[in-house]
Structure 1
Amino acid sequence: MHSSADPVQQPSQTILPNGLRVRLIPLLGSSQAAALVRVHAGSHDAPSAYPGLAHFLEHLLFLGSRNYTAAEGLMPFVQGCGGQLNASTRERHTDFFFQLPADQLEEGLRRLVDMLANPLLDPGAQLREREVLQAEYQARAQDAETLCDAALGHALDPTHPFAGFHAGNRDTLPVEDVAFQEALLGYHRRFYHAGQIELLLAGPQHEEVLQCLAEQMDAGLASHPLVRREVPPMRCKANGWFRLQLSNAQPRHLLAFALDGLPEHAVPALDYLSTWLASEAPGGLTQRLRDAELCQSVKLRIPYWYAGQGVVVVELLPTELGMAAPAELVEAVLDWLRFFSDDARWQPCHEEYQRIRHRSLQNAEPLTRLRYWVDPLAWSLNSEEAAIKQALSLLTAQMLGCAPLVLITDKTSCPAIETSGFPLCLQSEPPQQTVPTDWGWQQPAVNPWLKPELLRYEAADTSPALRWQGPEDMSGQGALFLRWQFMRGESFPALSHTLMHALQSVAWAAQQAGVALRFEDLGDAWCLRLEGFAEAIPAILSDIMAVLSAPPAAAFTEGQALADRDAALSSDVMLVRQLLNRLPRLLTDPTAVPGLTAASSSLARLWQTAQWQGLAIGFASSMSGPLTDAVHTLPGTPMLVPVARSMPVTVKRWHDVSGAAAMPETAFLLFCPLPDRTAKCEASWRVLGRLIEADFFRRLRSELQLGYAVFSRFCQFGEEAGMLFAVQSPTASANEILDHVEQFLSDSTVKLAEQDDDVIERAARQASDRHVASASDFRAQAEQAWQSLQAGHEIDRPIEVAAAMRTLQRQDLTVALEALRLARAGWVAVANASAPDAGWT
């Protein structure tokens, strides 16, 4: 059986009496557990008369079941535990998954099986949830990737289910009709039973305990045999070129391949191909196209795959030069595929791929492991390498045997076409030709960080600006956090984007080596994070110093362009997520005064004034030498005296980020900073955040039906901690959303006053028990330590806050809610809309 010491051994599958297929992954020492259920039915299995029925049912299952009301169900339960959960309806399967503290796994599974087996499907809840799907449909109707896939379906084979509309909206879900209700119940009966479901569990529990939990779930599901489903053949229009109008998205070129009749091992073969096609290694496809100034990035997407049939898309983000030469880009990709399909590439690339997969699973979180192993043919130590190689050969032969469908997206005006789902402005174009180029492809360079040759030795002396925190992590993880502080009142978006661009290929290589590299722009500070496989971190830091200090000249040009692009909202990324990306800069930089332009001389001047501080956690003492040597080459000067913290001001600041882009939806963020820095204040706000999170979601999403993207939580951005409220809505204005948030806080005051004492005490006690990250949860422990230091606290701050939580009374939460409601430390609102007439600066 799979264990945490053997991350690439595929977990075996067993079938329980009712038919539930189960795979168990004991993770000794983990503080977290996870569950993933895959129902083998999706949007293509729903009745054709009711597009979106499968997606709609996925939503309805969260709205109450026989033994748990909506307020007691899986979503509020996992949220209350500080966990994570989600669900996804794809073409031929639907997934439900969550991760939470290990001691709560059984309670989570009880709720999961009850919602799958015994949903209420209340008519009133259906009417309300249909409006949520309508809001989601309207948002997706502006999403670039969604529209691209819809255009591909129309162009590839309009008779295949892939071309159909399956998201669902108000018009396709007639919940008032008896026939629809019969279809909904029929779909649930046909597919939501043990024979159609797989369960994967991961956690620190012994195998026998996990097995017992799986048996409980099997017993709670109806017993029926697996339903077999037929798939019509997929045909591709030969040599088709199309153009799709996308006004608020970055231009892209898509090469789509319709594949059919491939063996089951085509699944790992596609993952293998994707790894190398998107590789940013020197000499690889991406780097060569970038050096030729034709393309910024390359990736492979699979918008549809089932039973050896699918649509594989190579997506390129072209430069201006590449936009003018699409045929050259298409030919380059096909030429690289011919090179890569040669047998000579298999052995060296396969060995590197094995190291990459091994490192990606090493110390992966429980849910990450489950999402990998849910594919029964995912690469493992016992994979059939010959079968994968043969499948790769058949796969690339099909891709090269017929010209791909080419889809170009830009702002060019195209006619609207008639569709049954998402609106498309699409036109066909004559295929373009080019003279083939001899690219002289070579084997991409190996990733040196996958096999670091670290010479260990202890440091003679260390900088006081770098805090060392032990002990050594026994699972081999480490984390290095670095923060550069600048003068208050200026921001440097062009320069930060320059470094982000320059670090792009570095971050990719680090990720392959098991290290997450992230560069963050916090307005008047920049932060570099390296978290993961400890032995690789000193080499990575040492190797990227030249990039940080003196990026290549092309990065400055691209950095300025990225900063200009980032200043405008787009349909490439969900609107509320774009606002979240901007929020940290706006919290510490209220004036948002543009700073230096993207030039090497400007960056050099900025580094001269920067002061850095950092935290190294989890490293062995024998690694302090190479890590310290790398730190000594950091740009800027060590921060020996902490920066004085400013007192909060009771000012309401509103940031209108709409720019010139007209967006059909409104996104709104409200961040409420802590009024003081005491442990008791933080404890009160954190507990309050847990108490109101589910209520906020239920009020604004389910009852008021403002939109599908609604959440609230306590969080920290850089040194700023507080409460965050977020809403994206297709119907409500920013002012209306603000009114709803204020009304919710007012109503929460009444509810808190009426709440039973034992409910408040239990919430505070549970929050206290779970607040301090477990020693076995290295990521959470490192994150807490870094957040404490950034906020100007000692590393043991979480212990202090947890102790304060245990002493909280109703009055403490009442005071916290009043301070929150009255903006005692000010409010920061970010929206793609103008501020209210009064009360905001």
Structure 2
Amino acid sequence: MPALNHPLPHVETLANGLRVSLRHAPHLKRCAAALRVSAGSHDVPLTWPGLAHFLEHLLFLGTERFPAEQGLMAYVRGQGGQLNAKTCERATEFFFELPVSALAGGLERLCDMLARPRMSLEDQRREREVLHAEFIAWSRDGAAQRQFALFDGLSAAHPLRAFHAGNRYSLNLPSQAFQQALQQFHQDFYQAGQMTLSLAGPQSLEELRALARRYGADLPKGQRLEQSVPPALSTTGIGTYQQLDAHRLDLLFTLEQLPEGAAPALDFLCTWLQSAKPGGLLAGLQQRQLAQSLKAQTLYEFAGQALLHLQLNLSTTEATAPAQVRELLADWLGFFSAQDDWPALRTEYALLQQRQLQVGSALELAQRDSRQTVGELDAQGLEALKVLLVQLQPQVVDNFSNEWRLPPGNPFLRSTAEAPRTGLIRGQTSAHRGLRTFAQDRSRSRRESSALNISQALPADSREGTLILRWRLASPAPAGVHERLLHSLAPLRSDAGEAGVALSFTTSGADWLLKLSGLQQPMPAVLQQALKQLNQPAESFWLQSAATTDDAPLMPIRQLLKAFSEQPQPGEPTVAQPQSLQALWAGARWDGLALALSAGTQEALGQALQKMPGTADTALCQPSPPDTAYRWQTYPGASSEQALLLFCPTPGTRLADEAAWRLLGQLCQTPFYQRLRVELQLGYAVFSAIRQRNGQTGLLFGVQSPKATLTEILQHLEQFLLQLPEQLQALDEPLWNEQRQALAQQFQASLLPLEQAAELLWQAKLAGHPSDYLERLHDSILALTPSAVTQAAMALHSATGGWTVLANGPCPGAPWQAAE
């Protein structure tokens, strides 16, 4: 097992007061920056609610040096990276992830936009309307409103009870007082003394330090300001209250005057509160059929205050259930508090934190460091834990039940026996014909004949790898079976995730997909358990009712994105029985893809695959012929807002088509966002991106609007695509070459994060592309000419490859055809 990242980053303070955190992680393929400003929505003058959130938006609108079309958002998109920002109660965070070569350009733009925003009145007017559209969507979103309602039991004087999102009415732009407050807030808090810049990447500490010093020095000098202490969370002195809504029970605990170290103490407690292991609170609730799930989290923590939230999905609507849950919770807390400093759990918690450092992405590591996350429950955290447990139990419970047990250690976190030696897979059966080891498939030119394709597009890595398995069902599954199987995998997914293996079990039309990605060492054991549970679930699987949730419906655009990726098909309305599942598996055909796995891991996985249900089939990857029709799929919902996705596939399966489409996608992201979100102000949910499904590459455009109809949204999309060829012809040669080079670089195998490479190569397999897909795509992008891409833009507008719309409203008629 490779050495862990050093648990603590290098920290220093620059001459201007900027606190800098640097983490050298040589295994990373990308790098990231997270800049945290110690000021948030609760630091705004009471007169101007939403000012902090509004300022966060304004900062992305460009500076004199970097106008919006050259600013951070456009730059990160052009480099194939990701970015976002978030206004919290007492902090505002800006973060992005980029290829290593692009970090300097990202830092330069980030520091410039924070130090010298334009904030013109014209920009403010436009962005306020965007913020207002976001507010409308938020006010209509059930999940967001439920979250806001959780604070109803708090003191009315506490800022958690106030409105902070901002809208057209709270942001009085013509007011001189508002403009002065906006400038003053920026001047007071957006200075180096209030900021922490965290960098994480494969670069050496010297390189990261040089970048931080060079661009961090651009921030105005300053000193740390004391943030005001809020009033008490509760005026009644009662430390707990609840909210009940059908199957959803929310328990909230207010905590005051906590000592330093409260954040890791709260996280430590939440980890074991929500553990599904035998002998724990959740297991006790499930055995009594009181609750199916429990999620524990800290909703707020600042200046010795904290709000602890327990969300339970109840199994019953009996009136006595909440009281029984609270009684069991008090009993478990009594048991937990009686333990002597929790040595075993503290060791386990440290292992969990270390594993997160080991497998975290560059962005996750940078964000973790910017928040100064502690990697263990140290002596300070231990004392804080004891204090908060006393507050959670005003009256000591010392006659607790003897049913409780501390959770056992996660077996996947511990080292297992050495993987078997390389060679032929022992016990291989006809159901797994053609399964090869790495040693058996060294030649890239060898014809792929295995149901499990062991790709050599990425070098075998002793650290991480990916395995994707697909079953094609011969007939629709009984309704609810996939949901049951997914629910039964939840404990395994949790243990695997803690150990550094992300496990997912998803649907894609008639296919079921099982994916394991992460550290190789625990992967064979995780696969073995997953296949056992899928093939032979426990008897309780058939006795329990189908898992119910009381989650609020997704906002419309997210509902459509979920439908786009899963391509749901109606299940047979039959009752699920053991024989029906076995019949389903017996008729299923499977194939898969393995990436970056060492020879030993391959053989260990091969042994686990001897229990693979279904029949191996090498012919599942026949690419579908292009559909040139105008398809309209309706997914109605309760929201009054209109949402639409437009998917425009390539006209053919040639890599030249895909290369042109990908460059089109890169070149139109910023203009599309600028036109529909900024200029037309259709709504705050506006995006465009390249997406792939079932081996088909296409451009996906998405809009959710509180005011435009679906017909109007579609007209705006068509008008944008009509004008796109002309916009492309206006690009100058240096910009064209820069964009083409930046895109091609994103497909160099040595620079791709494993998760992204795995998805690309899986889609390539589905499309029937050769094993050197990444190299060919890279070369195809570099071979693109402006005229070829302009021609592709014309084909895009002409719907040469067909168009598919997913919308929350009905089909408008010809030329659109409603999907059956």
Q: Give TM-score, length-normalised by structure 2.
A: 0.91
Give the corresponding residue for 2:606: 628
Counterpart pick for 1:580 among 561, 564, 567: 561
Give the corresponding residue for 1:796: 772
Counterpart pick for 1:50 among 48, 51, 67: 48
State the Cα distance separating 1:452 from its structure 2 match: 4.1
C-alpha distance in structure 2 between counterparts of 1:244 and 1:288, whole Å? 20
Give the corresponding residue for 1:754: 730
The one-letter code of the counterpart of 1:647 is P
> Which residues of 2 match residues 238-637 of structure 1 at below 5 A?
238=238, 243=243, 251-321=247-317, 325-344=321-340, 346-379=342-375, 385-401=378-394, 438=401, 440-457=403-420, 458-461=422-425, 463=435, 464-470=450-456, 473-474=460-461, 476-487=463-474, 490=476, 494-555=480-541, 560=546, 571-586=552-567, 594=572, 598-637=576-615
Q: Which SS does the other structure have where 2:352 is aligned?
A: helix
* Contact 2:84–2:94 (CA under 8 A) maintained in structure 1: yes
Query: Which blocks of at least 5 consecutive residues in structure 2 are unaligned?
Result: 426-433, 436-449
Deviates more, 1:76-85 or 1:570-579: 570-579
* Contact 1:30–1:776 (CA under 8 A) maintained in structure 2: no
State the Cα distance separating 1:481 from its structure 2 match: 0.8
C-alpha distance in structure 2 between counterparts of 1:575 and 1:553, whole Å? 37
State the Cα distance separating 1:765 from its structure 2 match: 2.3
Q: Which SS does the other structure have where 1:176 is aligned?
A: coil
Counterpart pick for 2:126 among 117, 125, 128: 128
C-alpha distance in structure 1 between counterparts of 2:641 and 2:479, whole Å? 26
RMSD: 2.5
Give the corresponding residue for 2:429: none
Counterpart pick for 2:218 among 220, 235, 249: 220
Give the corresponding residue for 2:440: none
Q: Which SS does the other structure have where 1:535 is aligned?
A: coil
* Contact 2:279–2:403 (CA under 8 A) maintained in structure 1: no
Deviates more, 1:233-242 or 1:821-830: 233-242
The one-letter code of the counterpart of 2:114 is L
In the TM superposition, what whole-angstrom CA distance separates every residue of 1:490-528 from its partner, at most 9, and x where no partner exists?
576622212211111111111011100011100111111
The one-letter code of the counterpart of 2:502 is A
State the Cα distance separating 1:207 from its structure 2 match: 1.7
> Which residues of 2 match residues 770-781 of structure 1 at below 5 A?
770-774=746-750, 777-781=753-757
C-alpha distance in structure 1 between counterparts of 2:310 and 2:84, whole Å? 27
Q: Which SS does the other structure have where 1:401 is aligned?
A: coil
The percent identity for this pair of structures is 38
Give the corresponding residue for 2:8: 10
Give the corresponding residue for 2:431: none
C-alpha distance in structure 2 between counterparts of 1:17 and 1:349, whole Å? 41
Give the corresponding residue for 1:409: none
In the TM superposition, what whole-angstrom CA distance separates every residue of 1:295-317 from its partner, at most 9, and x where no partner exists?
22211222221122121111112
Q: Which SS does the other structure have where 1:728 is aligned?
A: strand
State the Cα distance separating 1:145 from its structure 2 match: 4.4
* Contact 2:243–2:249 (CA under 8 A) maintained in structure 1: no
State the Cα distance separating 1:101 from its structure 2 match: 0.4
In the TM superposition, what whole-angstrom CA distance separates every residue of 1:718-764 from its partner, at most 9, and x where no partner exists?
43321111122222222222121111111212212333344333322
C-alpha distance in structure 1 between counterparts of 2:409 and 2:204, whole Å? 39
State the Cα distance separating 1:173 from its structure 2 match: 0.6
State the Cα distance separating 1:103 from its structure 2 match: 0.6
The one-letter code of the counterpart of 1:539 is A
Distance 1:773 1:322, change over 3 A: farther
- Structure 1 position 721 matched with structure 2 position 697: yes
Give the corresponding residue for 1:416: none
In the TM superposition, what whole-angstrom CA distance separates every residue of 1:312-351 from its partner, at most 9, and x where no partner exists?
1111122235776111112222322222222247112111
Deviates more, 1:275-284 or 1:605-614: 275-284
Q: Which SS does the other structure have where 2:93 is aligned?
A: strand
Report the number of matched residues.
788
Give the corresponding residue for 1:649: 627
State the Cα distance separating 1:572 from its structure 2 match: 4.5
C-alpha distance in structure 1 between counterparts of 2:66 and 2:392, whole Å? 49
Give the corresponding residue for 1:20: 18
C-alpha distance in structure 2 between counterparts of 1:323 and 1:576, whole Å? 36
The one-letter code of the counterpart of 1:652 is Y
* Contact 2:484–2:541 (CA under 8 A) maintained in structure 1: yes
The one-letter code of the counterpart of 2:295 is K
C-alpha distance in structure 2 between counterparts of 1:437 and 1:829, whole Å? 58
* Contact 2:462–2:520 (CA under 8 A) maintained in structure 1: no
The one-letter code of the counterpart of 1:254 is D
Q: Which SS does the other structure have where 1:62 is aligned?
A: helix
Q: Which SS does the other structure have where 1:274 is aligned?
A: helix
The one-letter code of the counterpart of 1:575 is P
Q: Which SS does the other structure have where 1:256 is aligned?
A: strand
* Contact 1:579–1:831 (CA under 8 A) maintained in structure 2: yes
C-alpha distance in structure 1 between counterparts of 2:544 and 2:662, whole Å? 41
In the TM superposition, what whole-angstrom CA distance separates every residue of 1:385-427 from its partner, at most 9, and x where no partner exists?
2221111111111122289xxxxxxxxxxxxxxxxxxxxxxxx
State the Cα distance separating 1:192 from its structure 2 match: 0.3
C-alpha distance in structure 2 between counterparts of 1:510 and 1:399, whole Å? 31
Deviates more, 1:287-296 or 1:224-233: 287-296
Deviates more, 1:683-692 or 1:146-155: 146-155
Distance 1:819 1:552, change over 3 A: farther
Give the corresponding residue for 1:764: 740
Q: Which SS does the other structure have where 2:703 is aligned?
A: strand
State the Cα distance separating 1:263 from its structure 2 match: 1.3
* Contact 1:481–1:615 (CA under 8 A) maintained in structure 2: yes
Distance 1:445 1:501, change over 3 A: same
Distance 1:449 1:559, change over 3 A: farther
Give the corresponding residue for 1:670: 646
Q: Give TM-score, length-normalised by structure 1.
A: 0.89
* Contact 1:256–1:313 (CA under 8 A) maintained in structure 2: yes
Distance 1:761 1:492, change over 3 A: farther
C-alpha distance in structure 1 between counterparts of 2:508 and 2:661, whole Å? 23
In the TM superposition, what whole-angstrom CA distance separates every residue of 1:181-202 from its partner, at most 9, and x where no partner exists?
1110010001000111111011
Q: Which SS does the other structure have where 1:731 is aligned?
A: coil
Distance 1:14 1:559, change over 3 A: farther
State the Cα distance separating 1:791 from its structure 2 match: 2.4
Distance 1:819 1:444, change over 3 A: same
Distance 1:668 1:751, change over 3 A: same
Q: Which SS does the other structure have where 1:317 is aligned?
A: strand
State the Cα distance separating 1:54 from its structure 2 match: 0.2
In the TM superposition, what whole-angstrom CA distance separates every residue of 1:788-808 from its partner, at most 9, and x where no partner exists?
212222231121111111111
C-alpha distance in structure 2 between counterparts of 1:190 and 1:507, whole Å? 45
- Structure 1 position 104 matched with structure 2 position 68: no
In the TM superposition, what whole-angstrom CA distance separates every residue of 1:642-661 from its partner, at most 9, and x where no partner exists?
44333112122212111xx4
* Contact 1:486–1:524 (CA under 8 A) maintained in structure 2: yes
* Contact 1:106–1:213 (CA under 8 A) maintained in structure 2: yes
The one-letter code of the counterpart of 1:399 is L
The one-letter code of the counterpart of 2:410 is N
The one-letter code of the counterpart of 1:746 is L
The one-letter code of the counterpart of 2:578 is S
C-alpha distance in structure 1 between counterparts of 2:522 and 2:714, whole Å? 47
Query: Which blocks of at least 5 consecutive residues in structure 1 are unaligned?
Result: 404-435
* Contact 2:24–2:200 (CA under 8 A) maintained in structure 1: yes
